[in-house]
Structure formats: structure tokens, C-alpha cells
Amino acid sequence: MKLLFSRNPNPRLAVAVARQVGAPVAFEFAAPRAPGQAGRYRALNPSLLLPILVDAAGGSLWEADAIACRLSREAGSRFWRTGSGEPAMIQWLSWGKENFVHACAMVSFERVTKQRYGLGPVDEREVAKGLERFADAAALLGAQLATRQWLLADGLSYADFRMATFLHERDLSGLPLHDHPALLRWYGRLEALQAWRDPFDGLDAPPLPPVPGR
């Protein structure tokens, strides 16, 4: 199998999962939306977004969550829970993408992505909405993590990686993680994992454009 990736948040997440579980994949940096590249990748993912997992027969799987599931199974890992543990993990995936992860994405898009790619000025109204949603979601998440190390009672899972999708850019986005001590401790545990801290170690992965003024 081959994992097509870039350094953007969701492809980064997929690479981190592959590294964490020791999945049997080759890594290939890709840029489906670069000039002249669409035709090469459209059959693999019609949205031209990364990550994309390509199997030996040329079939493809896209979307980070689906790829994480497949990689965990291929590696024989419990990182993606199965059986009785799966519903609790999916609960946090579902809640996170609509709440905490979404709030982080709102702020990161305005302060990081738009500025990195010259997509216009920061919309401070959207930042304010994102920070408000972040505060509400972080309070709930902090209460969960105040008495345990990871989101699930039985240890680290994909839910932790997914919840942290945008937090590696927190210094650029200014997400106030320091206002929530339990979250800060949880994220410190994630950063202690090599797969999360530096998923691109040893890979051919050109750096992202800098964010002006940051």
C-alpha cells in the first residue's frame, strides 16, 4: 500500500497514524491540486484532497478516518478500537469533528491557512466564533481528561489523534490551550509520542509555506 500525503493537518494525521501503528505502507508526497496534476489523482479521489491510501491493485481509500481504520487493521493494532470498545471511540470522533476539532479548524483556517496561501485577510468575526466554540468544547473535553490520561478509559486511541488534528499549529493559530490545564497535560502526552511529534521524520516532505508575520 502507498499513502499519499502532504504536511497539511489531515494528511499529517494519517501519516502519524501509520507511524504510530507501524502500518505496512510506503509514503509518497503528493500535490493533487498543483497545476497539471488533477488528471493524475482524480481517479483516486474525485475531490483531489489528501490523504489517499492506494492499495496494490490500484484501488484507493480517502478520508483520514477511513484510512486510520484500514491502517490499524492492516497493522493488527487496537489503535482503532473494534468490538465493544468501538462505540466509545466513535462517540469522541463524532463529537470532536462537530465541536472541538471544528472550533480549532475555524481559527486555524483564518489565522494560518488563509495567510499561508494568500486567501485574504483574517476574518476576526470568524475567529471570535471559533474561539467561543473552542472554549465551550475545551471545557467539556477538559472535564473528561481531568481524571484520565486519554479519551478512552483503556488507553490511547485514534480518538486522541483525531481530537488533536489542528493542535500542532497552536502556536501559529493562537489556540488558548493553556487556559485548560487538563488539555495541556493531555496534549503534552501526545507530543511525547514520536509518531505525533514528528510524523514526517525521514520522509521527503517539502515544508509548508511560511505564515507571514508569524
CATH of the domain at 162: 1.20.1050.10
Please indicate, yes or no, if residue 213 is contained in any of the structural domains: no
Tell whether 7 and 106 lie within a shared domain. no
Q: Say which DSSP state 146 is in.
A: T
pLDDT tens digits for range 23-69: 999 999 999 999 999 999 999 999 999 999 999 888 999 999 999 99
User: Residue 38's domain spans which residues?
Assistant: 2-75
CATH number at residue 66: 3.40.30.10
Tell whether 67 and 89 lie within a shared domain. no
pTM: 0.96
Please indicate, yes or no, if residue 212 is contained in any of the structural domains: no
Please indicate, yes or no, if residue 47 is contained in any of the structural domains: yes
pLDDT tens digits for range 132-146: 999 999 999 999 999
Question: Is pLDDT of 159 > 80?
Answer: yes
Residue 175 and residue 13: Cα distance in Å, rounded?
Answer: 18
CB of 52 closer than 8 Å to CB of 28: no
Sign of CA dihedral 143, 149, 155, 161: positive
Give the pLDDT of residue 56. Answer: 86
What stretches of 6-117 adopt beta strand conformation (E)? 26-29, 52-54, 60-62
Tell whether 90 and 41 lie within a shared domain. no
Count structural domains, the chain: 2
Tell whether 60 and 88 lie within a shared domain. no
The set of residues, in sequence order, having a beta carbon less than 8 Å from that of 153 and lying 6+ positions away, is 88
pLDDT tens digits for range 7-25: 999 999 999 999 999 999 9
Please indicate, yes or no, if residue 207 is contained in any of the structural domains: no
Amino acid at 74: E
CB of 167 closer than 8 Å to CB of 175: yes
Tell whether 53 and 144 lie within a shared domain. no
Please indicate, yes or no, if residue 65 is contained in any of the structural domains: yes
Residue 94 and residue 192: Cα distance in Å, rounded?
Answer: 25
Amino acid at 89: M
Please indicate, yes or no, if residue 186 is contained in any of the structural domains: yes
Please indicate, yes or no, if residue 210 is contained in any of the structural domains: no
pLDDT tens digits for range 68-122: 999 999 999 999 999 999 999 999 999 999 999 999 999 999 999 999 999 999 9
Please indicate, yes or no, if residue 22 is contained in any of the structural domains: yes
pLDDT tens digits for range 164-183: 999 999 999 999 999 999 99
